[in-house]
Amino acid sequence: MGQPGATFGGCRPDKGITMTEQYTIDLARPTLTVPETAGVLDIGLNATYDAIKRGDIPSIRIGKSIRVPTAALRAMLGILPSTSKVA
């Protein structure tokens, strides 16, 4: 069955935004990138950055990098830590 994660179409964190492939994001990892978060939430990249800036999506800034803690994201979505697969 593979590693726990969120399978979705849409934002490809490594290639920009496409709607042609599905891939898995591991919600057991401690943090996600902003593009990965956009894909999990099924919203655009700009909307994700705006939500982070407003404080709607919790984030950690390390230098110029922004990461979203998966524990906080799971809590926002009502996903229990043991149920980290989102389809």
Tell me the CATH class for 6-77: mainly alpha
The two tokens of residue 61 are 């800034």
- Identity of the residue numbered 23: Y
Contact predicate 32/40, CB 8 Å = yes
Distance (Å, whole) CA 55 – CA 10: 23
**For the chain, what are the domain ranges?**
6-77
pTM beyond 0.75: no
pLDDT, tens digit only, all 87 positions of the chain: 444 455 444 444 444 544 434 556 777 889 999 999 999 999 999 999 999 999 999 999 999 999 999 999 999 988 876 544 555
Q: How far apart are CA 58 and CA 56, in angstroms?
A: 6
